[in-house]
Amino acid sequence: MIEASRVQRLVTFSSHAVPLKVLLEVGGWDVTRISEDSRIFWQCYIHFDGDYFVVPLPTTVSMDAVQAPKWMSTLSNLYKQKRRWAYGAENLPLVGTRMLGKNHIKAPLGVRLAQVGRMLEASYSLGTAAVVLAVGGWLPSLLGGPVFRDTVLGQNFLNVTRFLLTFALIGVVFSIGVSARMLPKRPRGVPRRRVFNYWIQWIFAPFATIFFGSIPAVDAHTRLMLGRYMEYQVMPKMRTESKETTKPS
């Protein structure tokens, strides 16, 4: 929701619409790329010399979650989906060369640097942020041993790290509160324990961000680096019929 208010940072992703006239003018989607949703944005942005931006539309969007007949298959498909999303780093060569190369677009230098910097930061953070938060506090002391712990930096490192992580918990608590406020009212027939399960799932958030965030991102970026390019994979999804019937008003 915060990003939706920062139009200058928005890039098309997942549910989006592109005017047909614009789509034809830029030559359509690049069928050789996996991240077609963000790729078309950069094609248009470069074609119009930076005079192209996303307009958020507040509307209801219905989407299916990744699901398979078996639990482990669902987790496997979710991992592959996250890896495909992280493969958006493949746009960096296009954006970097057209923003900073010899034949760069006519946008101001500051704008071009900001676009490249944001893409670099987003790709890097996606693969590292969760891991750094999880092990960054104790890893230096473990690897440095007594040599590091006996220094002034080593003596204060854990205290500073503990303070920063505690302070960061404020944001986590705030996110939990906002997420809870956005939940619809518990439908009739749904047991109260389902609400309890909602709160419990936040305990697994650190593990989820590592195994379905950082690791898929590193996997995707490593494939790009080694030339083991991906093919587009459509994740199978399932639907279950609602047990409730809707009465006409």
Q: Is residue 179 part of a domain?
A: yes
Burial (Cβ within 10 Å: 0-12, 13-18, ≥19) of residue 226 = exposed
- For the stretch 145-159, pLDDT in tens is 888 878 888 778 878
**Domain encompassing residue 186:** 64-226
Q: Is residue 233 part of a domain?
A: no
Q: Output the CA angle 16-22-24, nearest 5 degrees.
A: 110
Q: Is residue 146 part of a domain?
A: yes
Asked if residue 171 has pLDDT above 60, the reply is yes
Is the pTM here over 0.95, yes or no? Answer: no
Q: Is residue 34 part of a domain?
A: no
The domain tally of the chain equals 1
DSSP letter (8 states) at residue 89: G
Q: Is residue 19 part of a domain?
A: no
Helices first, then strands: H and E counts in the chain: 10, 0
Q: Is residue 237 part of a domain?
A: no
What φ, ψ does residue 19 adopt, rounded to 5°? -55, 140
- For the stretch 28-87, pLDDT in tens is 888 888 888 899 999 999 999 999 999 888 887 777 778 888 889 889 999 998 999 899
Q: Is residue 164 part of a domain?
A: yes
- For the stretch 192-220, pLDDT in tens is 887 788 888 888 888 888 999 999 999 99
